[in-house]
Amino acid sequence: MTKRKSPVRLSPRGIIHGKQYPGIHGKVVHWTDHAFEEGILYIRVRFTDRTELCWRIVTSTVIEEADLSDWKTGNFRQLKVFVQNESNGE
């Protein structure tokens, strides 16, 4: 048996906190599975009432910044910024 590195935090009633999905509470699980298709991880939970909850998980590579700089003198001097990620807040 493998021990968890960080314990799962439970509420006083023993419920794990996280994202809640309206309409799911009380459903009976029929089966679950996961699959990788075209770089996407699908996690499916099928219920006995013939409904399904599916998570599609993807990763992406984002250019944070692309710039032209002068380093000849040993000092970094930024000449031009070509791409700047909008999430930088600048």
- The string of pLDDT tens digits covering residues 23-46 is 888 999 999 999 999 989 999 999
- C-alpha distance from residue 1 to each of 4, 10 (Å): 10, 21
Report whether pLDDT(89) > 50: no
Which amino acid type is present at position 18?
A: G
Average of pLDDT values for 45-51? 95
Percent above pLDDT 70 for the chain = 73
| pLDDT, position 75 | 81
Average of pLDDT values for 61-76? 84
- C-alpha distance from residue 38 to each of 18, 28, 62 (Å): 28, 30, 19
Strand-strand pairing, 77-84 and 65-70:
antiparallel
Mean pLDDT estimate for the chain = 81
CB 65 within 8 A of CB 88: yes
The label of the residue with tokens 């009633």 reads: 13
The pLDDT-based confidence of 11 (bands split at 50, 70, 90) is low
Report whether pLDDT(1) > 90: no
Q: Between 5 and 40, name the one with better pLDDT.
A: 40
CB 56 within 8 A of CB 42: yes
